[in-house]
Amino acid sequence: MNFLSSLFATAMSTESAAETTTTSTATRTIGMANWPVIKQLAVLFGFIMQGIFLFLAKMNIYSVAVYIVLFTVITRLLLFPLQIMQQKTMKLQNYIQPELTALQKKYAGRRDQASMLAMQEEQRAINEKYGISTLSGCLTSLIQLPILFALYPVIYNLSGYVPQIAEIEASNPELFSRMYQFVGLSLLDNPTFRKPLSVLIPVLAGVFQFLSTKLMMARNDNGNKAKKGDDIASSMNSMMYTMPLVSVVFCFSFPMFIGFYWVIQSVVMVIQQVIINQFMKNVTVEELIQKNLEKQNKKRAKQGLPPLNDKAKMNTRTINSSATVANNYSGKSSSGMSAEERDRKVKESTEYYGRQAAAGSITAKANMVRAYDEKKNKKK
């Protein structure tokens, strides 16, 4: 989620030149607020913010800072299930990463078509073995992306989404100004070093974002620190240090109420991450794999396909033996295997995939390449 937040920061910064701004918050506009899906989500979040305003107005509380705190807590609670799903996916991805790394090393430097197809097939088999969908890694992030983009227009243009605030702005400027006061600062102003207290907002935004990312990647599935050589660990390490800096720059570039929202969001995310980390300690990889397989097998049963658990076991056996086929294409031989045994295993693999391959699938294409090369070799 931190990456998505920073992605929004970049997008919002590029749009800042095109946005229209006056002393009235009602005239501030963000182009992305009119994008499809985001526009509808922003309206929904606008209703939530309006509900918060009306609820607090009954208690004679008029404070944008309080609105932002409650709005952030509510929206983060709505996103909490997606955050748990994302952590479960990361847990499984960390678990299978050694197998994927070994697979990449196995085919390192081999760029012929047969080797590439064999590598893709083995990677698919690894995913199937654990019931992981190809899109599972990015699906939760893709779902969260429009939601995140829809949150900021509501915060940035409160008067546009809460008509009552627009009425106060027009009829009672003094009350409107007090609404944006917080610890002696006007949240309508940008942070400035002339007011040291205002600088705390960008600094805290960076600190808490760093903490939330640190907590997210604190431990891998085995309870050990992530290996330095892992691609995922490397990208997370990079993100842990660069994204907080992006947050600091972002918060200096816009009025303090945006930075205040960024701080509160990061604080809530830290609390959520602590809770999730405790929860994930009691979730085993075996449970996740079993649930994934059950889910996938229900879908496959409706399609008349065999269960993934049996098929995946068969795949891992036959694919490992069929690696000799890819070795033959690249001019390499299998160590410690006689030609007779190798041919037998290749035949078993070919017959299995010939039965299982669907038209147009990677396996079917690999079979076509193999058959062509076998026919060409026989002619020689």
User: What rounded mean pLDDT belongs to the chain?
Assistant: 75
Give the CA distances from residue 42 to residues 38, 57, 112, 278, in Å, rounded to whole numbers and listed in that order.
Answer: 6, 22, 49, 32
Give the Cβ contact number of residue 171 at 10 Å: 9
Summarize the confidence of residues 260-269 as an average pLDDT: 94
Could you give the percent of the chain with pLDDT greater than 70? 66
Least confident of 125-129, 284-288, 340-344: 340-344
Does 257 or 222 have the greater pLDDT score? 257
pLDDT class for 373, splitting at 50, 70, 90?
low
pLDDT tens-place string over residues 17-52: 334 333 344 444 456 677 888 889 999 999 999 999
- Provide the pLDDT for residue 3: 44
3-state secondary structure 175-219: HHHHHCEECCEECCCCCCCCCHHHHHHHHHHHHHHHHHHHHHCCC
pLDDT class for 16, splitting at 50, 70, 90?
very low
Summarize the confidence of residues 294-317 as an average pLDDT: 67
Does 342 or 167 have the greater pLDDT score? 167
Does 283 or 8 have the greater pLDDT score? 283
- Provide the pLDDT for residue 12: 46
pLDDT tens-place string over residues 168-220: 999 999 999 999 999 999 999 999 999 999 999 999 999 998 998 888 777 54
Does 85 or 204 have the greater pLDDT score? 204
- pTM for this model (two decimals): 0.69
> 235 pLDDT exceeds 60?
yes
Identify the sign of the CA torsion 355, 357, 359, 363: negative
> 7 pLDDT exceeds 70?
no
> 167 pLDDT exceeds 90?
yes
Q: What is the Cα 119 distance to its own chain's centre? A: 25
